[in-house]
Amino acid sequence: SQQGEEDPQALSIQEGENATMNCSYKTSINNLQWYRQNSGRGLVHLILIRSNEREKHSGRLRVTLDTSKKSSSLLITASRAADTASYFCATNSGAGSYQLTFGKGTKLSVIP
Amino acid sequence: GAVVSQHPSWVICKSGTSVKIECRSLDFQATTMFWYRQFPKQSLMLMATSNEGSKATYEQGVEKDKFLINHASLTLSTLTVTSAHPEDSSFYICSARQTGGANYGYTFGSGTRLTVV
């Protein structure tokens, strides 16, 4: 079953604007990861945040994690048309398991 | 960086035939690989965890006799869809985990679009 729930399911913005996607999960986690998928392609790992971290940055990406609310957000600043893709959060529960549980994803469209 | 090669990228087969999909880690050893299935506009559903040198672990509801997984080496896992039916048409994606614990991102193959006619 899917643990993560992304919000919104679809997001359309103008180039240059910021895009924020949210993810909620249900069980305790070891880490939470964000992935990007271009249409018909595999997934590309964007960023990983551990359960003891609250915020992480990578280039134009900013991820936050609130374990008390079991939620995470991905912010893409100064969006570009090339950022158009689906974005998924995935959780790893740890405890010796290496499995990832994916959310339903947010489809981001950046209009030039 | 870590690269996972998945082949073929697309395949069309007739009902009743079998199709093999390969997943190779090109520049690292992967003791564990994962196979996912993705329906259009939906998320990834984990089918099975492939462990090098041992039997795969299948998720509930996934028929192990229909989706045969072999992980004979540290760089190769294969998924064979046996006696394929049109309902098996889907996008199949593999991923591999580099050693060093779970606190690393996983590397995904580019996916295989299977169409059964």
DSSP assigned state of B2: -
Residues forming a β-bridge with A10: A107
Contacts of A108 (CB under 8 A, 6+ apart): A10, A11, A12, A13, A19, A21, A76, A79, A83, A84, A85, A86, A87
In degrees, rounded to 5, the angle at the alpha carbon of residue B19 between the alpha carbons of residues B13 and B24 is 130
Check CB contact under 8 Å for B43 and A45.
Answer: no
Omega before residue A8 within 30° of 0, cis: yes
Of the residues B37, B44, B97, B99, the best mutation for testing chain A's interface (the one with the most A CB atoms within 10 Å of its CB) is B44
Q: Quick check: A4 and A25 in contact, CB under 8 A?
A: yes
A3-17, A52-66, B50-64: lowest mean pLDDT where?
A3-17
Out of A33, A41, A88, closest to residue B105 by CB: A33
Of the residues B5, B36, B43, the best mutation for testing chain A's interface (the one with the most A CB atoms within 10 Å of its CB) is B43
Whether residue B30 is predicted with pLDDT greater than 90 in this model: the reply is no
B58 vs A contacts (CB less than 8 Å): none
Confidence band (pLDDT; 50, 70, 90) for B102? low
pLDDT tens sequence across A38-95: 988 999 999 999 999 999 999 999 999 999 999 999 999 999 999 999 999 999 987 6
Check CB contact under 8 Å for A100 and B32.
Answer: no
Backbone angles phi, psi at B105, to 5 degrees: -65, 155
